[in-house]
Structure 1
């Protein structure tokens, strides 16, 4: 089985979420189930059924996080020495050749990709186009909306 790459920071975020689920949310939902159970008839007790459903979601997420963390290959980006080349974990600033708009992305594993926080999966079209290039290169990204050219403005390993 191939181990999924994850950055050290990404692994830490997943560990924090796991701790929150186990130490805070799981006990809260258990208490909510106990309280709803005390209200009597469980067949028509919406609070009980909602709490049980929420418990299922929490337990499923706990299992997923534990599995992910146990099978992940944690990579400390700060210890890499790729000689300026873009590799997994690099934080890259690119400029759209057409509009000049700059965007900064960190290339991460599929498990920690989050576009809202500018973390893109190593398997994404943009990341695949950037890997192996250096600052100053112009890359062509083949995306669903067509081809776009980007200049690599900066590369960091943080």
Structure 2
């Protein structure tokens, strides 16, 4: 089980959302934390451009490590993986209305002026940290099955 409090602390210490989520889930999916964080480093802030939320990309990497042991899309195991992916997307959208970083924040973190506003308004804490905690709770269920 991922430690939400530890993940939140690491995020507030400067790690990005994707690193934080995938790093917190790493051991559960057979990776060491350092490797997971390095893999996820480029995915924070909506893949660096306000696109898909880093919590979602970090969670997708964990799902891939655990369930994507197939070579082609017509493998029966692919269907199970894609169902997990859709469950992640559906739950995240139900909670936040989107899986898009920019829509969640109302600002694009890749734009310097927006990044300053995100910091000024405390959105990393009020939006991003909450999304990290919610994602880790959701992943606890998705990785258990």
Q: Please indicate the TM-score interval, normalised by the length of the shorter structure.
A: under 0.3
User: Taking structure 2 as the reference length, what is the TM-score of the superposition?
Assistant: 0.27
Larger Rg: 1
| Greater fraction of residues in helix | 2
Tell me: higher relative CO, structure 1 or 2? Use CA pairs within 8 A at least 6 residues apart: 2
